[in-house]
Structure 1
Amino acid sequence: MQQPDPITIEKEDAYLVRKIKQHDELAYYRLYQKYSSKIYRISRKMDLSHHDAEEIVQDVFLHIWKSRERLDESLSINAYIFTIVKTGVLKKYKKRARFVAYQQYAVPMSQEFSTNTEDKVIFEDLHDFATEAINNLPVKQKEVFVMKNIQHMTAEEIASQLNLSVRTVENQIYRATKSLRKKIETSQGVSYSLVTVLIGLLN
């Protein structure tokens, strides 16, 4: 099946944005038809429930309509929508504070996202900031945290391998977790993916 011409898509998007700025509800509905399923799909891939993904779709288009007079037809509406989606997903993640750990994302999501630019950006942000956040932990905390949360070792196994007491290992895990939770709580203004990966690692 022949793929749509990117130039044609951009021209159509620019036309729809121009009409929406003029309060054209039909153009608004056409934009909804064009992007709603894509927004829903991305939201679901980021582990949101059906209900939350539908709310993301609604929130995106409510935001677009409310800010219609400020839209810029010379800019990519696709990129603009993606930015709103990222913000919405962050809010959902913060609200429920429940994620799949990084290792569960690594193989299946990197493969599945390989054909989708927006999804790949999300995954790469998760990977990069996870590495940076853990590397900033004190050496002993980092070592124990990685063994517990990424290598999925028990406190007893870690204690045996590092020649430490189980109590010491548990204390290091607690300190590392507390440190990362503090980063999350003070992460105002950080992109959604940088926050979500930290929460994911704490599951």
Structure 2
Amino acid sequence: MPIYKKYPDKLLLDLLKEDDQQAYTVIFNRYCKLLINHAYKILQNQDEANDIVQEVFLAIWNKRNELNIKGSLSSYLYKATKNRILNHIAHEKVVSRYAESISNFTENNYAFADANQREEELSLMIAKEIESLPDKMREIFVLRKIDHFSYDEIANQLNISDKTAKQQVYNALKKIRAKINPFLIVLMFRF
């Protein structure tokens, strides 16, 4: 792999399109910290910055055969990161507005018990979805999101790489969100 470190981005991209994992690793190592720092400056949250950049690199790996990057790889990565950040912020604003509407609703003495019931339904649904995850994925997800272990701690405890831990958490969140989002939309319109 030391020879790969000397390769220009263009050659690494060509190798990546041919499923070359070493090329991917060099790209990851070359840009990961820079992108995390960039994301952190905007988000002011290290875990969110890490997750955003992880999603960017996961998307690059998953779409490696379809990548059609015009311009420099660094520009593409910064733009992809910026777009993920903007999507994240937009999602957070929607969640915040939803939480605020629930708060206003309950402050005005409207069916407080009904809101509690919906919150309980959502909690049960989330718990059910977590329980339905594959064993290893569930274990990693619980360590990260419930027990608040760092990715390094999870990697050390389970004897896996931190990249594997991040990937498993990302996959778990994707599965859970896919099941929960329709329920949240229904909740929003029931108020």
Tell me the TM-score normalized by structure 2: 0.43
Q: If you compute each CA radius of gyration, which structure gives the higher value, 1 or 2?
A: 1
More relative contact order in 1 or in 2 (CA 8 Å, sep 6+)?
Answer: 1
Tell me the TM-score normalized by structure 1: 0.41
